[in-house]
Structure 1
């Protein structure tokens, strides 16, 4: 039973015990520290401590910060917000229903605390500080998912703990005990639900070469499809004639054999150019690789994914690279050592997902909402495919394979920041799990998709998919062929391109 405000009496008074002496000494130190902080004539403490302590009441401060983190758009921030709030909730339960009942302690006396800091004294037990425990739990919970945010919040949590002493609500020992409890719950939570590892393999510096200035495009032969991109190919041809007058333009027609034309151009050109969709670009790129000649890509297709990712989204960007003579090497992917891929391949529902998302966006629905509608439609209506991925049986409802890593973890891949990292980016959803859609959405919203049992992800230089039944492999906007075995292999930095995004 406590004997005076803020002290404990654990031992009988009839005998002297070392533990009792230590306890009395700690209580005395606690009171002295409290007096030093509470009675400190500091204008800064007078101005900040009471509002800060009030802001942390009922965890309002941390809920507000969690809302900001969740809306930041960064997965680790979103995961941190969810983990921080869950850890805070568990900590509050442990403190209020556990420690405060087991170790009763009176609150400090108000004597000596400046009136500008005083606030209504809580009626619950003083040990440990619930505000401090919640602050530590939230800060460390966020920090387990995003270290930078955790460091910043740790400072704020420390200030909240100080405010509880400065306003006369707790002894320093209560605050330290609260920090320890909150930290302990956060660490235990990390053992039960491990943080997501967002680390990426270090990538060597880009392979760059200087071919020397070429101001008018001499030696460049461009294979151009005038009908591509709803007629944008004709516009590209006009721009090329104005910007690179020495370049030769070979225009395709409906009867042209693109493969034969590309082979002829690769044999006689010093530099090869292509203006068309990703399928046309891939065909010409195959011959550029065989001839070991640099490829200039001009955006003339509908989406121009490859052109955008090498910073060739505009004709002027590629022209500038040709004139400066800067060439970089990027990866390509070979399917069964026969078919060249520049961007992506898919089986199952991914092609259907892309079409559905495009339909929703044409209805002027925002992209995030259109993405979610399309994903739900595919999960509900598509038929899964039974395959073996690297020998592991899987029933796949959604499968995506990309040349280089595509953005952050998600079943809706983003954009590539590099095209020369030497890996395939594979993401797929496994069918057959109970409440798969709800679990997937919960993992996606909380930012813990990578730890989901439904979502799978791997990065490797070679990936092999096999099945007893033929499955279709769509790639680079093409419908693709049926296969019972599809072996995807990265050709590391095999293609030389004009562009600056990898420089």
Structure 2
């Protein structure tokens, strides 16, 4: 290797080798992967770094102390290849090779596409250690083997998404549409720019540069006979477009498709339930909680399910305005009902959170979603107060009432639902009390659910909320609307059929 003349890599590989010192290169790559803003990419980056940490600890504590091999002699290595600072540790095994192999293997276990994109870089780092004369080939090979083993050890402790139980049961009947014939897809033109792993990885490696939103490109390729209807919700035509598309799908004996975030999917689900047609969800928005809980992370997932006819039945949450006692006594049950029944696939909330959502959406396009959420939480806690409402026949002072469509597992970070058809509402209440403002702010920052006496959790099939103060707002799936004086929360069990591939 030392005597071989390779003029090209002589200026590149030594720099690449130095950039990987202390894992700096892999932290940068992990950040770039996470910025693609898909759950799978973020999990891949996190798993890659965890695998790197285990590999580094294994090499430095066991490998190098057990086998104290001297570094190769540099007499025959051209000066241009040599590192400015020579390593002072022993040679066997290579820590750089272990870290590179651990990182790329961890990434690939979550996302094979991202793993393939990063693999050439990892191979170059491992090769650079021999090229620069600081390791023998056996050092690199054994280090790489330790890195791969570390990644699989991490997977044994923290299973990948593919190893977790599949969400979305029970199975339901839906028409198979091999080329998308019968699918009427409404695409939110303002939210379809989210790129899936395949498009993001291709853009990173320079292999492709999509000319249109990745959602529509995948659909046009896999489902060429699908009817695609672009729609801008800012024009106010989204509800009408979804209703017409649902009726059109019913006439064709097909399904309604939707590309957008949770708010768009919520509107589409309501139309699909009313028309009695299945729903195909393409996660194309800023927030795609329902699709991700269902196990759909890429547009191709939905397209495969539509082609094969694989679908599941899920619950739909419902909030229905109720007439007041005076109206019922006077025989006018509809006199005080200000709005129609609303639906939610993810969450319903009353109290401080709806106001937080309104402020966050106003600032998000200026400073970004997370900073906007923090600023909104600060303003809400400074200017807002508890909401007094009736629950179970008792008046309560509440900072927040949360109702989830099926059970949520919540810790320091929100975890997806594993059962979308359990027939229950996951009700959580944040009561007004000592330090309640501080606790609510911490929850807004971390999505944590504190188990203190200020919080209570229960699961119900239905919940009546009464005596809601005027000018109070409610939030459902990220949308905000005025709250009626009385409303009933309940469930429509397995009311919606959604396409979902069985292999995700």
TM-fit CA distance, 1:234: 4.5
**RMSD after superposition:** 4.0
Q: 8 Å contact 2:381–2:441 — kept in the other structure? A: no
- Distance in 2 between the 1:405 and 1:465 partners? 20
Q: 8 Å contact 2:186–2:242 — kept in the other structure? A: no
- Provide the residue aligned with 1:196 in structure 2: none
Q: Is 1:206 the equivalent of 2:185?
A: no
TM-fit CA distance, 1:261: 2.1
One of 270, 276, 279 as aligned partner of 1:286 = 270
TM-fit CA distance, 1:276: 2.3
TM-fit CA distance, 1:351: 3.3
- Distance in 2 between the 1:225 and 1:425 partners? 30
- Provide the residue aligned with 1:227 in structure 2: 190
Question: Partner of 1:258: helix, strand, or coil?
Answer: helix
One of 204, 212, 219 as aligned partner of 1:240 = 219
- Distance in 2 between the 1:264 and 1:389 partners? 39
Question: Partner of 1:245: helix, strand, or coil?
Answer: coil
TM-fit CA distance, 1:293: 2.0
Q: Residues 388-410 of structure 1: CA distance to partner in whole angstroms, max 9, x if unpaired? A: 12322211112222111121368
Larger of the two Rg values belongs to structure:
1
Matches within 5 A, 1:369-384: 378-384=380-386
- Distance in 1 between the 2:449 and 2:230 partners? 46
Seen in structure 2, the aligned counterparts of structure 1 residues 478 and 229 have a Cα distance that, compared at 3 Å, is: farther
Seen in structure 2, the aligned counterparts of structure 1 residues 338 and 361 have a Cα distance that, compared at 3 Å, is: closer
Question: Partner of 1:206: helix, strand, or coil?
Answer: coil
One of 227, 244, 250 as aligned partner of 1:267 = 250
Q: Residues 90-139 of structure 1: CA distance to partner in whole angstroms, max 9, x if unpaired? A: xxxxxxxxxxxxxxxxxxxxxxxxxxxxxxxxxxxxxxxxxxxxxxxxxx
Seen in structure 2, the aligned counterparts of structure 1 residues 325 and 230 have a Cα distance that, compared at 3 Å, is: closer
Q: 8 Å contact 1:310–1:500 — kept in the other structure? A: no
- Distance in 1 between the 2:168 and 2:221 partners? 35
- Provide the residue aligned with 2:302 in structure 1: 318
TM-fit CA distance, 1:291: 3.2
- Provide the residue aligned with 1:349 in structure 2: 352
- Distance in 2 between the 1:376 and 1:333 partners? 30
TM-fit CA distance, 1:387: 0.4
Seen in structure 2, the aligned counterparts of structure 1 residues 299 and 371 have a Cα distance that, compared at 3 Å, is: closer
Q: Is 1:304 the equivalent of 2:288?
A: yes
- Provide the residue aligned with 1:250 in structure 2: 229
- Distance in 1 between the 2:279 and 2:185 partners? 9
- Distance in 1 between the 2:248 and 2:443 partners? 50
TM-fit CA distance, 1:300: 2.1
One of 374, 388, 391 as aligned partner of 2:390 = 388
- Distance in 2 between the 1:360 and 1:245 partners? 35
- Distance in 2 between the 1:251 and 1:282 partners? 17
Which runs of 5 or more structure 2 residues have no equivalent in the other structure?
A: 1-166, 196-211, 321-339
TM-fit CA distance, 1:265: 2.5
Q: 8 Å contact 1:427–1:455 — kept in the other structure? A: yes
Q: 8 Å contact 1:208–1:327 — kept in the other structure? A: yes
